Amino acid sequence: MSTDVVPGVVAVVLVSIATLAIGTWGLRISRTTSDFFVASRTVRPRLNASAIGGEYLSAASFLGVAGLLLTFGAEMLWYPVGWTAGYLVLMVLVAAPLRRSGAYTLPDFAEARLGSSGVRRLCSVLVVGIGWLYLLPQFQGAGVTLRATIGAPPWAGSLVVAVVVLASVSPGGMRSITFVQAFQYWLKLTALLVPVFVLVAVWLADGAADPAAAAPHSWSVPLAAPGGGIGLYTTYSLIVATFLGTMGLPHVVVRFYTNPDGRAARRTTLAVLGLLGVFYVLPPVYAALGRIYAPSLVEDGSDVLVLALPSLMVGGVAGAVLTGLVTAGAFAAFLSTSSGLTIAVAGVLSQDVTGRRWGSVRLGGVAAFRVAAAVAVVVPLLMSLPAQDVAVARTVGLAFAVTASTFAPLLMLGIWWRGLTPAGAVAGLLVGGLGSGAAVAWTLAASPSSGWGPALLGQPAAWSVPASFLAMVVVSRLTRASVPAHAGRFMVRLHTPEAVQLQR
């Protein structure tokens, strides 16, 4: 090991210690089961928005977006735009009613709305599956980062993240992790923002070269390769997946239950839109500067662009400090997203699996949550160890396509359409989940190729989302007799402002 590794090591250690310290502080005020799952529903919009931002901005946002923009150009701007616009769609369609439903998790909502334990079980399986699918790339990304910055073996990064997440989540649950994640949003923003000022100053001093000069024409066109009809389809399919997929992400949805009421849920979402917008302006700056100062990364290794650019442009002690800063931000990204997903998966597992009676033993709420958290972390950790080379961004894309084709139709129809029946919901979840899941599983397994077939399978949302909606509506119409008796009553509860006192 040389002195190059010092900033990386210092950054990782400091972020881990800060995370554990804030988590422990949260422990002191976290006492009840309600604290564990939904922070007793008392988190104010501004704090909650920071926490959602901290949780949402994963490795894909912090490292992946800048790298993709460097290589492919404007077409990749749809990822950050879609990830932000997804919150607008979530706000206008589900935020307030979802909070007013009074359920802890997505399966709770499905059961309360449809009165069916079968739908509940299917939703639980989907939440755990999507959560693990999303945790996997976080652990892999951590491995890649530690290898790039301090030359550690790839499993070391995954292990460090898993241990820190478990240590910070298990003691304090949702209440303490809210503070941790709010802190990590501001850390991530600082870690990208401060270097940008320095790097842009260097760029101006060097004569402000044109980043697009060396780039091909397609770098300035926001359409997916290879353009034409296929490019248009792929772009719109990505838009559907990201705009609708956000509302179904289990770790995002679970956060909405921590708002005090429906109005606060809306206001939280507006603040999130602002925070994400501020953050996502920064990665394109790295990508543009990378075109000038890091041309060697364009073809190979663009994922480390954010980590490598400060030392390439500045050098010396200042470069080392900036490198430490971005490494800290990247590590915070892995930690916060993994923590949020762990909470969401553990919440479902503890209610449906570990909280049950096993033989003569029945764990209490908090103990069941801790056991579930351990399971939620260990399974994807073991999965990530052999598969260190699967592309990080592709797995995240799979998760968005799957949630857009399953939970998005369930939430939208469940909240706005009285006629949804349990059978209809199951049909839609199966059609959307199996369709999108099979399509992207095939894409991950097969080698990249071109043409309409691979395009349809590689970006399935544009057909799998309508298919899921159609299945829900058609089957619900066919099973009209089984519309839950309490559906009307439940709809009243979802849409009534808190100021109107109903008996509920």
Partner 1 sequence: MSDPPSRVRVTGPPRRRAHVVRAARTREIDAETALGEVFMRSLLREQLVLALRVLAALALTVGLLPLLFHLFPGLGDVRVGPVPVAWLLLGVLTYPWLVVLGWAYIRRAEHNERDFADLVGSVLPEEDR
Q: Would you tell me which residues interact with partner 1 (CB under 8 A)?
A: 74, 77-78, 81, 84-85, 87-89, 91-93, 96, 208, 210-212, 217-223, 227, 231-232, 235-236, 239, 260-261, 263-264, 266-267, 269-270, 273-274, 276-278, 280-281, 284, 288, 416, 488-489, 491-492, 495-497, 499-503
Q: Which two tokens stand for residue 62?
A: 């912090």
- Write out the two tokens for 343: 């909470």
Whether the upstream peptide bond of residue 226 has omega within 30° of 0, thus cis, is: yes
Q: Which is nearer to partner 1, 20 or 215 (CB)?
A: 215
- Give me the phi and psi of 258, to 5 degrees please: -85, -5
Please give the torsion angle defined by the CA atoms of residues 442, 448, 452 and 456, in that order, rounded to the nearest 10 degrees: 40
The alpha helices in 151-227, defined as continuous H runs, are 154-205
Q: How far is the CB of 96 from partner 1 (least distance, A)?
A: 7
Q: How far is the CB of 86 from partner 1 (least distance, A)?
A: 10
Residue 153, classed as helix, strand or coil, is: coil
Residue type, 455: A
Task: Report, in Å, the least distance between residue 426 CB and partner 1.
Answer: 25
Residue 357: beta bridge partners?
A: 362
CB nearer partner 1, residue 31 or residue 263? 263
Closest separation between CB of residue 275 and partner 1, Å?
10
Nearer to partner 1 (CB atom), residue 51 or residue 288: 288
Amino acid identity of residue 326, one-letter, is V
Instruction: Provide, rounded to whole angstroms, the least separation between the CB of residue 413 and partner 1.
Output: 12
Minimum CB–partner distance for residue 270 and partner 1 (Å): 5
Nearer CB in complex with partner 1: 217/357: 217
Query: Shortest distance, CB of residue 227 to partner 1, whole angstroms?
Result: 8
DSSP run (H or E) holding 83: helix 78-90
Whether residue 109 contacts residue 416, with contact meaning beta carbons closer than 8 Å, is answered with no
* Closest CB 67 distance from partner 1, rounded Å: 15
Show Cβ contacts of residue 235 under 8 Å, excluding neighbours closer than 6 positions: 75, 78, 222, 223, 224
Report the alpha-carbon angle 292-296-301, nearest 5.
115
For residue 447, the 8-state DSSP code is P
Least distance between partner 1 and beta carbon 306 (Å): 16
Of 213 and 317, which CB lies nearer to partner 1 in the complex structure? 213
- Picking from 276, 252, 243, 14, the residue whose alpha carbon sits closest to that of residue 127 is 252
Alpha-carbon distance 469 to 474, whole Å? 9
Q: What angle do CA 192, 276, 92 make, to 5 degrees?
A: 175
In 3D space, the residue among 412, 97, 95, 403 whose CA is nearest the CA of residue 269 turns out to be: 95
CA angle (136, 124, 55) in 5-degree steps: 45
Contact residues for 364 (Cβ-Cβ < 8 A; gap 6+): none
Give the whole-angstrom CA distance, residue 167 versus residue 425.
37
Smallest gap from Cβ 162 to partner 1, in A, equals: 33
Q: Are 91 and 235 in contact (CB under 8 A)?
A: no
Residue nearer to partner 1 on the CB measure, 6 or 239: 239
Q: Which is nearer to partner 1, 283 or 433 (CB)?
A: 283
Would you say 136 or 462 has its CB closer to partner 1? 462
Nearer to partner 1, 83 or 400 (CB): 83
Which CB sits closer to partner 1, 273 or 328? 273
Minimum distance from CB of 218 to partner 1 (Å)?
8
Name the residue nearer to partner 1 (CB basis): 153 or 497. 497
